[in-house]
Structure 1
């Protein structure tokens, strides 16, 4: 190879003949340094040498970025590596890989909770379920909402959700200290709301820790640190329920409500032990008057089917069919949403204090036991997770459950002083004197 001394003029004027695929010009000063040009591409400095008996060639860079002295120094550096028995190509690959790894690490460190949160909503469904329960999904979205929209009730704009401040944090920086600081701020407004938000965020951290791409960035136990747990409000399990002596007063108060739908809904809660949202979402298509069955959305399974007891069948048949929902409403949802105000009126007339809507569910369980129904049958009607510890639990068919639910209904009606003709046509309740 003919060699010449590289000068600025020679380098800038070097071209590849159009009849060749590439052309080289070699430097006399730095062994192995050359300038490569192609007909269509831009020239580039290259280094060529022999390593372990084989020719190797490495691209250094463009003459616009490398001065001649710098390119010559780089060529000498590469030659020294070969003299030391090192392959400069491998070192270059390692350097590029290290740079790429550093960039990946930098990108990962910059990944925020807000970047991952939408993926959690889309992919973080609970085990053994096809999707989030709609209510819980809505709560997750509300907890992380930025706020600033018109309130549906009242005037003004909504406030950011409790989890919204966490969205700006890098996932890698979510630790005991950052969560404690966040919780203390949120707890100033509502400690119970902050505690609920923390429980939801723990679920998010568990999901992240199970994903290979987020595992190294996630401190799964950050939300369980002693400093945070000690600040949580005491979790006092509610035990409110109707006593047998209170049933007549409660029933009379609910029966006299001016809101007929709320009146039937509250009594249906007591007669089925269903969760309030399960019953509120029930549609007419879920009510089978012919075969006396109800299909209810379930917390554990997708749905559960229970018997439609005689008195409840007649109660439901008296409701107007204004839309697809059994407990219809003129509100946006089209169904009953909040009956606390109606329930409070009934409680006031009966002089009963502290009974929540969920307390009616506990009342069904306790009154069912008093009626002599098996614990397993009560649990199945209520949609409790099956347990083999009580009564040697075994699932029963709807027909097998029917006598027990009718037994419970009869006991509750007897306590309430209600008499009716079970053979009356649905929708025509007839008192029995």
Structure 2
């Protein structure tokens, strides 16, 4: 059969022996959107030529009665030989009853699975290298207790101090601060925190102080619980690492403190408080005994929450956000004598603007009174015991102190401020009587001074 002339018109209805020259001459007539140049050798292989001049390889066949079309690429980027080879492969698959599209889907799925596995490995490697020190600031920022909007300022400060790197100039005394007990744990990979590493850490820290190490451990347990509640860290940590028997059996005994003022000690303690040169500390210590408030609750008392007209105090509360208690007569007079130099009732020139540590003042009081040991919480216990001695109901005492309802001895019946007032005034009068304080309960706040 004679070879067609290179200038002869191409019969697009026929099949052709595909050559470079033939494909180069192929063009789409103006009246048609596209034409197909079909290969005589490989059935189903054709070159699609569009009106715009585009030339692309196609393969078409039928499988189980359905038309299958596959794009093979653009000519001449894909040569005639390569197009024929691919057409041959596809024809072999379809004749064997295999849909090439299904194979491509499987291959694509395998490629995606491989990419996902590679990405997961990268993330796993990153997670394995994640340190406690990288996650700890997130815990400080977001790990507030349940049903709380934020950490209590003192506890957050303790958390930060426990993990401090040290090396800063001491606020009191000479030299530099030491690293906090938790600081050595910050360098550990999160996935490396286990019973053995915590046991080794605790044994080293306990040499410096068992109680401090035990408190640091309790804080770190909270960190582990927080991590366990988050999907991104859950698989990396052992939540119960800090509860291992090897650690727990070496914790110091948690003996319940029972320190409180004995009745015979009240006069000496009160006299010592009255003799303090720091009048703010003196008033603060007396207020702790007269209200049974927690030390931080009372230290944060602001003038805006002292109502002299209706004789009420609104103070921060450990259980609820605040609680309101009566402002008893002696308390009202004592607070009225304090200078108003800022936001806080018990003001200070320190950074916080309020009294933050009255331990040195209290130590002088204890030394003056010959009392060996009494904590600030012991003053709170003293209020409760003296309140019982004054005949106040346990529920009223608990409500003034801000105890949970379940902690009250009697059936809990919340009382209004006015209903609490006679009980708190009775307790105050009882304490003043024991202390030997002569006070006119009818005196207007600030009008009279107390005579001891």
**Pair 1:347 & 2:366 matched:** yes
Decide whether the 8 Å contact of 1:424 with 1:430 is kept in 2.
no
Moved more, 358-367 or 115-124: 115-124
Encode CA deviations 1:325-382: one digit per residue, 9 max, x unaligned.
1111222222212111111111111111111122101111111111111111111111
Aligned to 2:48: none
Alignment match, 1:373: 392
Match of 2:81 in 1: none
Matched, 1:110 2:149: no
Q: Which residue of 2 aligns with 1:259?
A: 278
Where does 1:373-412 land on structure 2 (aligned, <5 Å)?
Answer: 373-387=392-406, 390-412=409-431
2:154 to 130, 135, 150: 135
Q: Who is 1:173 aligned against?
A: 192
Counterpart of 2:335 in structure 1 is 316
**Aligned 8 A contact 1:261 1:327 in 2:** yes
Which of 189, 200, 204 is equivalent to 2:219? 200
Aligned counterparts, 1:274-313, within 5 A:
274-313=293-332
The Cα shift of 1:130 comes to 1.2
Secondary structure, aligned partner of 2:179: coil
Distance 1:105 1:292, change over 3 A: farther
What residue in structure 2 maps to residue 236 of structure 1? Answer: 255
Pairwise CA distance, 1:211 = 1.7
Q: Structure 1 pair 208/412, CA: closer, same or farther in 2 (3 Å)?
A: same
Correspondence for 2:5: none
Task: Give the aligned partner of residue 90 of structure 1.
Answer: 106
Between the aligned partners of 2:62 and 2:154, the Cα distance in structure 1 is 70
Matched residue SS, 1:296: strand
Describe the SS at the equivalent of 1:305.
Answer: strand
Distance in 1, matches of 2:341 and 2:265, equals 33
Which of 306-315 and 341-350 deviates more?
A: 341-350
Structure 2: runs of 5 or more not aligned: 1-14, 19-58, 73-84
Cα–Cα, structure 1 residues 431 and 249, in superposed 2: closer, same or farther, change >3 Å? Answer: same
Measure how far apart 1:407 and its partner are.
1.0
- CA distance change for structure 1 residues 432 and 196 in 2, over 3 Å: closer, same or farther? closer
State whether residues 266 and 435 of structure 2, in contact with CA within 8 Å, keep that contact through their aligned partners in structure 1: yes
How high is the TM-score relative to the length of structure 2?
Answer: 0.76
- 1:147 Cα deviation after fit: 2.9
Distance 1:165 1:428, change over 3 A: same
Stretches of structure 1 lacking an aligned partner (at least 5 in a row): 5-46, 60-71
Task: Assess, with a 3 A threshold, how the Cα gap between structure 1 residues 153 and 51 changes in structure 2: closer, same or farther.
Answer: farther
Give the whole-Å Cα distance in 1 for the aligned partners of 2:67 and 2:209: 73
Whether 2:390 is the aligned partner of 1:361: answer: no
Kindly report structure 1 stretches of 4+ aligned residues shifted beyond 6 Å: 1-4, 47-54, 56-59, 82-86
Q: Residue in 1 aligned with 2:244?
A: 225
| Secondary structure at 2:258 match in 1 | coil
Corresponding residue for residue 11 of structure 1: none
Relative to 1, partners in 2 of residues 1:105 and 1:402: Cα closer, same or farther, differing over 3 Å?
farther
Deviations 1:94-139 (A, max 9, x none): 3433442453354245332233223222222111111111121222
Q: Deviations over 1:35-55 (max 9, x none)?
A: xxxxxxxxxxxx999999775
Question: SS at the partner of 2:149?
Answer: coil
* RMSD across aligned positions (CA): 4.3
| Structure 2 CA distance for aligned equivalents of residues 141 and 417 of structure 1 | 44
**CA shift in 2, pair 1:139/1:388, >3 Å:** closer
SS in 2 for 1:188: helix
Secondary structure class of the residue paired with 2:405:
coil
Equivalent position to 2:166, from 118, 142, 147: 147
Q: Secondary structure at the match of 1:294?
A: strand
Shift in CA distance, 207/432, structure 1 to aligned 2, threshold 3 Å: closer
**1-structure distance, mates of 2:232, 2:139:** 13
Task: For 2:421 and 2:156, locate their aligned partners in 1 and report how far apart those are by CA, in whole Å.
Answer: 34
Give TM-score scaled by structure 1 length.
0.79
Larger of the two Rg values belongs to structure: 2
Cα distance change, pair 294–56 in 1 and its aligned pair in 2 (3 A): farther
Task: Give the equivalent residue in structure 1 for 2:229.
Answer: 210
2:30 is matched with none
